[in-house]
Structure 1
Amino acid sequence: MGDRTHTSAHPGAAGRAPTADHPASVRNVVLVGHSGSGKTTLVEALALAAGAVNRAGRVEDGTTVSDHDEMEHRRQRSVQLSVVPVEWDGIKVNLIDTPGYADFVGELRAGLRAADAALFVVSASDGVDGATRAVWEECAAVGMPRAIVVTHLEAARADFESMTDLCAAAFGDDDPDAVLPLYLPLYGDHGPDGHAPVAGLLGLLSQRIYDYSSGRREELAPDPAQLPRIEAARNRLIEGIIAESEDESLMDRYLDGEDIERKTLVDDLERAVARGAFHPLLAAAPAPEGSRQGLGTVEILELVTGGFPTPAEHELPAVTTPQGAPAPPLACDPAGPLVAEVVKTASDPYVGRISLVRVFSGTLRPDETVHVSGHGLADRGHPDHDVDERVGALSSPFGKQQRPLTHAVAGDLVCVAKLTRAETGDTLSARDNPLLMEAWQLPDPLLPLAVQAHSKADEDRLSQGLARLVAEDPTMRLEQNRATRQLVLWCLGEAHRDVALERLRTRYGVRVDAVGHKVSLRETFGERTTGRGRHVKQSGGHGQYAICEIEVEPLPPGTGVEFVDKVVGGAVPRQFIPSVEKGVRAQAARGLASGCPLVDVRITLRDGRAHSVDSSDAAFQTAGALALREAAAGARIDLLEPVAAVTVLVPDGYVGPVMSDLSGRRGRVVGTEQAGRGRTLVRAEVPEIEIGRYAVDLRSLCHGTGSFHRTYARHEPMPSQIAGKFREQDQKGG
């Protein structure tokens, strides 16, 4: 961390895939931050500093390490997780770059699952947003080690000192001294715009200058005049390190005036970082054109390799048998039982399906047969499965390249080819000892997208294309809604939706049209009424004869359709009573006033007439349907709409706007409760038709800091004014 002797990889390493033979030589680090914070730029700068790419930031085939999807270039935004392995001081570092946009939080959660530590990337121009703070709290809850990197220091309004205070307030929880800088920036000469660029760093512990102005890090002795500037920051850092030290005597020695040696401080710092008790703050800036090392890159790599834990130090997810029986806890041991997990699935036009796999235990080798278990996502279009599959070639991900590997040990990340049945979230284990890992948390997709094939040719490919789409992205949910007869793809937001449509078209050759999403409306009678169905036809030969009289009365919500026979005297022969019921129920399913299913009524058969020759099952079915239609013609029919029970989790400052917004959606707030520090859970009941876009609107209302969950509660009568509009649309075919 600015004080370690190291030997970085040389430029020739750009053509070689880093390898690891033991968990101790692996670090898995996920980069977290809002969109535009500079995560991908930082990954490329770290790859350049480690010698994984050439001075132009390219690998040998001319692509950059961030070249993964043409869609990302068009959108100028990362939409998927990517892994860039580099080597530093003999340690393989898997840099896991995640999208910062909220619609792709599923990729972020996959990155968190694959990682053992996190770098939170914060832009000096934009500060810390609420979504980044929320992810920080998630990491804190599971004890994941974290550090902060401040980027965009070259911006005109960038201020490192202000960012230090801001990060301490945002990430310091109850102890701001747990978030402290390890270096202070040194500024060069003022440019024409009056802004002084960051030219180097001043190490607080080493009291050495690390000059990057030449494009390569040079260590220099400081000017004595510079030392007083760092005295206060250095003392605070030393006190913060000692406060987290496992050596209880260290604080007394420090307070007694003893000069604690630097090695002791660095060792204690690294231990505190590894156990998630201390969070260093570092600075980064891009390398000048043609330079090899950007400002802060060496310091970040030293922190990652020296301060972040190995996979063996990270608590592993729980495992069971595929049947749910308990299994012994896993250890990150290359010689242990094989347990790995698919954290990402992608399709390559030449190789086919490629699975990014984190090996948690054992050693994965090509051409071996493994057991694939996938449970718990059947509601999202991922049915449970337990199958055996043969592992294809193993490779190390690096931009568009796949560099062959002979094996992958516990703790490492590897790409596996041709796992045709495995999907994101599935567990790979030994065929003779199948296991299932505890699933990671996935956000609920709450933005509906109803689709239909654009043409007959697209219709033939639609089912397969959608199946492959949801296999790659478990945050999507595919629904065949029988009530509305719509095919609905549930997404996380508008950008997520647009990417899904584009992938269907470009990757799977399926064009679809988006249509308006419908909610499952129902009808009921608003009053008691009667109806008579007469189906009499005489056209020579065998005719049709059936007459029935019914009474219809409304029932409490949730009752359904109840049929009662009260015919006396054999007016309707006993063998035709079921026929009347069948006809009535068929008409109820088709609906009456607006084509929505009829529910919550009791239909009583009171009387009728039959003919000894012309009466039949079909005739009485028709008469029953006609009787129900006649009853509806003279009665008030209420349109019922589904109501959702909604829980909205927001920071306290947004409770008022959220409750007001819910009321504007015809919602009823039923209560609020505290849900942790500074957050409130709002409970409400809202008509589903009013929250079709709530996933998007809530994000805008709360600046990405709110979340919500919805479950079906019941159907309720729709206000007559709104019901009238629906019936008008139905009559117009809309």
Structure 2
Amino acid sequence: MGDKANAHPGAAGRATAADHPASVRNVVLVGHRGAGKTTLVEALALTAGAVNRAGRVEDGGTVSDFDDIEHRQQRSVQLSLVPVGWDGVKINLLDTPGYADFVGELRAGLRAADAALFVVSAADGVDGSTRLVWEECAAVGMPRAIVITHLEAARADFEETVRSCAAAFGGDDPDAVLPLYLPLRGTPGPDGHAPVTGLTGLLSRTLFDYASGQREESEPGAGERAGIEEARNRLIEGIIAESEDETLMDRYLGGAEIDVTTLVADLERAVARGSFFPVLAAAPAADGARQGLGTVELLELITRGFPTPLERAAPQVTDPAGDGRELKPCDPDGPLVAEVVKTSSDPYVGRVCLVRVFSGTLRPDDTVHVLGHGLTGPGRRGGPAHESDERVGALSAPFGKQQRALTHCVAGDLACVAKLSRAETGDTLSAKDDPLLMEPWELPDPLLPLAIEAHSNADEDRLSQGLARLVAEDPTMRLEQNPDTHQLVLWCLGEAHADVALERLRTRYGVQVDVVAHRVPLRETFAARAAGRGRHVKQSGGHGQFAICEIEVEPLPGGSGIEFVDKVVGGSVPRQFVPSVEKGVRAQAAKGVAAGYPLIDVRVTLLDGKAHSVDSSDAAFQTAGALALREAAADARINLLEPVAEVTVLIGDDYVGTVMSDLSGRRGRVLGTEQAGGGRTSIRAEVPEIEIGRYAVDLRSLSHGTARFHRAYARHEPMPAQVADRLRKETPGRG
């Protein structure tokens, strides 16, 4: 595993279509923003011979040329696939964004991968969001390894970073997180900082020197050998503790020398099993160099230590009727089951889907059945259920902005599929005559509202189509046409997520939008009993209008809606016109009686009225009913009601006091707290929705990106008078 004295197999260069799942490795790179994931992918591609020394692919562009937005914003905003070949194995490297707003891209990468590389900066250490992703991987038993980058930084400390990784990722067994190599440092410079020029292999006691730009092996001197024995012994004990050979520990403690081949084999099995997590170091190649430090070792770990797709359990699938179906793990000859893990739009090709094949073999020109979920709620997609038969276009492997044609995509492999015009992220592709559906992966709820309007009439014509495509590509966005405020709201995960959505609308779909203030759906209600008289009498020649009604309005408990009661006696309002009065009252209630918000939770009682044998009509009594309600409101105190959300915050114990104080400052009422395990606490509170419009952003700042929250509508309740007065001043003339 890169630690054998003769373990340099040479690069296989450009990756092509795999012929069998055993020759595929799917690896997702995880880490916080700035940890160096994309740089590491480029370094691995260079070592594997997929790019030249300038970082250019053979047919133009760089390996990181994924999206123009990424270049403008200088950050990764989407999942990117870079396939490379090494030692006869196709390695699909899945580079994920490190920014929390794009966690949906990260989840897609985890879904498509069979193992994870956690990239940790030696200068910055482990952040809280990376810990959360580690726990997600641990929950499903995904094999993991750790790569330490930025060793060239002045404040970089490899040994301290390893200790922090063991504390953060080791859980009850910190000896499961141990380095396979130690940095080999060169001559200190004028500032006293000694650059890392190579690695010391602990198991083989071999030096791998990259100072010349090509890995060179040598034996350590006596002084160097003595310095690595303590780390080597600890590594051996960690490997033996995970060995399936129960006699190995006794032999080792008895003083027997364990063969390196045996140790490497046990190490590879423990890594693939997800019970041991080796730590490596890597750095990009220097100018003119062919190999980056640690890249050979990392490629060997991936090919020899990470599992093949065959070792992943078959996905849970059902037929359209909901009946379960058993599949063999990653069978190339089995029924076709593939999943769209990402969709994007190409200006020349159209919609392009990144697909992971879990069973069967996908080929160009196949006709496949596209089946999508119509599920809503936490972690579910909100679009309608849909299905269609579509013909597969060309299959290709992406590399930068280039697409390299593939003849097929075998179970366990990934490929880009063109011309699936109706497929969306999360959809299942299966055989036309044998439709199947995979269980969707969990997605975070978008909780930051972005209210938008078309900038011009021309934009209005393109807006709906652009938004539909945007939401189809990114299931962590949700589109809402609010029936109460009549606003078009795009729900996002954060400000950066919203910025990317707006830029894609503008640059990709040619739609310019204006962002407007998001409004919450307020309501009105009567604070006390009131009476009103509606008089609608007009005599202007010809058929007149005559309707008079008297009503009483009283408040009801929350959630009661509008209740209409008829208490007319003696026929003062003819029976045929009582429904007309009710219709007029309800129409006026929907428009509001004070600030222009719908009226709710009142009982309106029709007490009396007058009619004319000729001039009374349905329309006249509707108008009279509306006038009566408005007159009652004119002499009464009207309360503004605001929606209150039940909020659940999952937060680290260190931030509980800060978050609870912040919730109180938002007029929130804390309902309770409970321990959630893993050093976290769950806080339940009720908070007015008008106070948490930006809570997704503010909570991330308060918790340094480690908190999560969920919100659900609870009820409407009276808004404090001072808040209502301020709101009326901010929105003059409403209603």
Q: Is the CA contact 2:3–2:202 (under 8 Å) kept in the aligned structure 1?
A: no
Q: Is the CA contact 2:596–2:734 (under 8 Å) kept in the aligned structure 1?
A: no
User: Deviation at 1:62?
Assistant: 2.6
Trace 1:67-466 onto structure 2 (pairs within 5 A).
67-377=65-375, 382-466=383-467
User: Deviation at 1:6?
Assistant: 4.7
| Structure 1 SS opposite 2:53 | coil
Which residue number corresponds to residue 604 of structure 1? Answer: 605
Paired amino acid for 1:110: A
User: Deviation at 1:381?
Assistant: 5.2
User: Deviation at 1:727?
Assistant: 2.0
Instruction: Provide the C-alpha distance between the structure 1 equivalents of 2:376 and 2:369, rounded to a whole number of angstroms.
Output: 19
User: Deviation at 1:148?
Assistant: 0.3
| Structure 1 SS opposite 2:403 | strand
User: Deviation at 1:9?
Assistant: 4.9
Q: Is the CA contact 1:8–1:50 (under 8 Å) kept in the aligned structure 2?
A: no
User: Deviation at 1:326?
Assistant: 1.5
| Structure 2 SS opposite 1:85 | strand
Instruction: Provide the C-alpha distance between the structure 2 equivalents of 1:537 and 1:98, rounded to a whole number of angstroms.
Output: 71
Tell me the TM-score normalised to structure 2 length.
0.98
User: Deviation at 1:540?
Assistant: 1.1
Which shifted more, 712-721 or 60-69? 60-69
Trace 1:473-492 onto structure 2 (pairs within 5 A).
473-492=474-493
Q: Is the CA contact 1:7–1:89 (under 8 Å) kept in the aligned structure 2?
A: no
Instruction: Provide the C-alpha distance between the structure 2 equivalents of 1:490 and 1:680, rounded to a whole number of angstroms.
Output: 26
Q: Is the CA contact 1:9–1:51 (under 8 Å) kept in the aligned structure 2?
A: no
Paired amino acid for 1:150: I
| Structure 2 SS opposite 1:27 | strand
Give me the CA root mean square deviation.
Answer: 1.2
Unpaired runs of 5+ residues, structure 1, are none
Which shifted more, 186-195 or 170-179? 186-195
Which residue number corresponds to residue 652 of structure 2? Answer: 651
Q: Is the CA contact 1:667–1:686 (under 8 Å) kept in the aligned structure 2?
A: yes
Q: Is the CA contact 1:318–1:330 (under 8 Å) kept in the aligned structure 2?
A: no
Instruction: Provide the C-alpha distance between the structure 1 equivalents of 2:533 and 2:10, rounded to a whole number of angstroms.
Output: 89
Percentage identity across aligned positions? 78
Instruction: Provide the C-alpha distance between the structure 1 equivalents of 2:389 and 2:395, rounded to a whole number of angstroms.
Output: 18
User: Deviation at 1:729?
Assistant: 2.7
Q: Is the CA contact 2:572–2:608 (under 8 Å) kept in the aligned structure 1?
A: yes
Paired amino acid for 2:644: V
Which shifted more, 582-591 or 309-318? 309-318
| Structure 1 SS opposite 2:677 | coil
Q: Is the CA contact 1:6–1:89 (under 8 Å) kept in the aligned structure 2?
A: no
| Structure 2 SS opposite 1:289 | coil
| Structure 2 SS opposite 1:639 | strand
Instruction: Provide the C-alpha distance between the structure 1 equivalents of 2:311 and 2:636, rounded to a whole number of angstroms.
Output: 71
The count of residues paired between Structure 1 and Structure 2 equals: 731
Instruction: Provide the C-alpha distance between the structure 1 equivalents of 2:8 and 2:173, rounded to a whole number of angstroms.
Output: 35
Q: Is the CA contact 2:81–2:95 (under 8 Å) kept in the aligned structure 1?
A: yes
Q: Is the CA contact 2:339–2:426 (under 8 Å) kept in the aligned structure 1?
A: yes
Which residue number corresponds to residue 620 of structure 2? Answer: 619
User: Deviation at 1:376?
Assistant: 3.4
Which residue number corresponds to residue 688 of structure 2? Answer: 687
Paired amino acid for 1:247: D
User: Deviation at 1:486?
Assistant: 0.3
- Poorly superposed stretches of 4+, deviation over 6 Å: none
Q: Is the CA contact 1:592–1:629 (under 8 Å) kept in the aligned structure 2?
A: yes
The superposition leaves residues 287-333 of structure 1 with CA deviations (integer Å, 9 ceiling, x where unpaired) of 11011101000010010000000011012331111332212145201
Q: Is the CA contact 1:9–1:87 (under 8 Å) kept in the aligned structure 2?
A: no
Instruction: Provide the C-alpha distance between the structure 1 equivalents of 2:421 and 2:447, rounded to a whole number of angstroms.
Output: 28
| Structure 2 SS opposite 1:96 | strand
Instruction: Provide the C-alpha distance between the structure 2 equivalents of 1:278 and 1:101, rounded to a whole number of angstroms.
Output: 27
Q: Is the CA contact 1:381–1:467 (under 8 Å) kept in the aligned structure 2?
A: no
The superposition leaves residues 363-419 of structure 1 with CA deviations (integer Å, 9 ceiling, x where unpaired) of 000101001110134675521112111110000111101000010000000000010
Tell me the TM-score normalised to structure 1 length.
0.98
The superposition leaves residues 254-286 of structure 1 with CA deviations (integer Å, 9 ceiling, x where unpaired) of 111110000000000000000100000000112
The superposition leaves residues 602-636 of structure 1 with CA deviations (integer Å, 9 ceiling, x where unpaired) of 00000000000000000000000000000000011
Instruction: Provide the C-alpha distance between the structure 1 equivalents of 2:424 and 2:328, rounded to a whole number of angstroms.
Output: 22
Q: Is the CA contact 1:7–1:88 (under 8 Å) kept in the aligned structure 2?
A: no
Q: Is the CA contact 1:549–1:606 (under 8 Å) kept in the aligned structure 2?
A: yes
- Distance change (3 Å), C-alpha of 1:537 and 1:467: same
The superposition leaves residues 108-154 of structure 1 with CA deviations (integer Å, 9 ceiling, x where unpaired) of 00000000000000000100000000100110011000000000000
Instruction: Provide the C-alpha distance between the structure 2 equivalents of 1:616 and 1:530, rounded to a whole number of angstroms.
Output: 23
Paired amino acid for 1:3: D
Which residue number corresponds to residue 532 of structure 2? Answer: 531
Paired amino acid for 1:185: P
Which residue number corresponds to residue 26 of structure 1? Answer: 24
Paired amino acid for 1:709: H
Q: Is the CA contact 2:16–2:406 (under 8 Å) kept in the aligned structure 1?
A: no
Instruction: Provide the C-alpha distance between the structure 2 equivalents of 1:210 and 1:377, rounded to a whole number of angstroms.
Output: 53
Q: Is the CA contact 2:123–2:153 (under 8 Å) kept in the aligned structure 1?
A: yes
The superposition leaves residues 446-469 of structure 1 with CA deviations (integer Å, 9 ceiling, x where unpaired) of 000000000000000000000000
| Structure 2 SS opposite 1:582 | helix
The superposition leaves residues 198-226 of structure 1 with CA deviations (integer Å, 9 ceiling, x where unpaired) of 01111000000001000011111111221
Trace 1:486-501 onto structure 2 (pairs within 5 A).
486-501=487-502
Instruction: Provide the C-alpha distance between the structure 1 equivalents of 2:595 and 2:327, rounded to a whole number of angstroms.
Output: 57
Instruction: Provide the C-alpha distance between the structure 2 equivalents of 1:201 and 1:118, rounded to a whole number of angstroms.
Output: 22
Paired amino acid for 2:250: D
Instruction: Provide the C-alpha distance between the structure 2 equivalents of 1:685 and 1:24, rounded to a whole number of angstroms.
Output: 52
- Does residue 3 of structure 2 align to residue 3 of structure 1? yes
- Distance change (3 Å), C-alpha of 1:597 and 1:497: same
User: Deviation at 1:191?
Assistant: 2.0
Instruction: Provide the C-alpha distance between the structure 2 equivalents of 1:2 and 1:378, rounded to a whole number of angstroms.
Output: 46
User: Deviation at 1:724?
Assistant: 1.2
- Does residue 629 of structure 2 align to residue 628 of structure 1? yes
| Structure 2 SS opposite 1:675 | strand
Paired amino acid for 2:504: R
| Structure 2 SS opposite 1:504 | helix
Which residue number corresponds to residue 468 of structure 1? Answer: 469
